[in-house]
Homo-oligomer: A and B are copies of this chain.
Amino acid sequence: MSELEARVLPEATLARLTQYLRALNALEAQGLERTSSGVLAKEAGVNPSILRKDLSWLGSYGTRGVGYVVRELAEHISRTLGLNQDWKVAILGAGNLGRALSGYAGFTSRGFNVKAILDVDPALIGEPVGALRVEPISELATVVAREEINIAVLAVPGDAAQDLVDSLADLSVRSVLSFAPKPLKVPTGMNLRRVDLSTELQILAYLAVQG
């Protein structure tokens, strides 16, 4: 393949683009067809400068002196983020958190489909979770192949997480969202994002003491 220049979006821009997308949807729901960086930035909770700078990474989609066409801009951001395609998600770990995530609205919307939920615990295997049934984690390879999983969500204890990441890497699952409270090593080419709930609470504790 011909090498395109590695023009990857900065991490921070990427995170905000998802917020603009939601903000645009909110504006569209209000019946607005056009908007400006000021209005959109307010809705997304950022300042207008950074919004315009972020959008400049995608090219020029506004009109000077006027603003942006809501639907057009939303469509463009969606395409850039890869949300025009279908994402098939497997949840690893059918404990409280895993089960809650499988039904979470944010996970089932916008092209993300939870296709499977797996666990090691024999007591959980076969149990219904929404429209799915818990499958044994020993069948991971089979499930990933059958459902064409491309995103995995790790809702397992810290000790189990690294082994699963390694297995997923072998199965060419290249995107993982981990809730395990441990740093994980990932092979190059795999994308990992962590959500660490107890870290968030600890940060709040510090801020509360400060303030």
Chain A: residues with CB nearer than 8 A to chain B? Answer: 6, 8-9, 14-15, 18-19, 21-22, 44-46, 80-83, 85, 87, 89, 95-97, 99-101, 103-107, 109-112, 150-151, 157, 174-177, 181-185, 189, 191, 193, 195-211
Question: Contact at B177–A191, with CB atoms within 8 Å?
Answer: no
Complex formed: what's the CA distance from A205 to B191 in Å?
9
Question: Contact at B19–A209, with CB atoms within 8 Å?
Answer: no
Query: Top 4 A-B pairs ranked by shortest CB distance?
Result: A45-B183, A106-B198, A100-B100, A82-B209
Q: Which residues of B contact A195 (CB under 8 A)?
A: 195, 197, 200
Complex formed: what's the CA distance from A148 to B210 in Å?
19
Complex formed: what's the CA distance from A183 to B19 in Å?
8
Question: Contact at B206–A174, with CB atoms within 8 Å?
Answer: no
28 A-B pairs whose Cβ atoms sit less than 8 Å apart in the complex: A8-B210, A9-B206, A14-B206, A15-B199, A18-B202, A19-B183, A45-B183, A81-B209, A82-B205, A82-B206, A82-B209, A83-B202, A83-B205, A87-B205, A95-B100, A96-B104, A105-B157, A106-B196, A112-B198, A112-B201, A150-B208, A151-B208, A175-B204, A175-B207, A177-B201, A191-B204, A193-B200, A193-B203
Residue of B nearest to A190 (CB): B211
Question: Contact at A15–B81, with CB atoms within 8 Å?
Answer: no
Complex formed: what's the CA distance from A200 to B15 in Å?
8
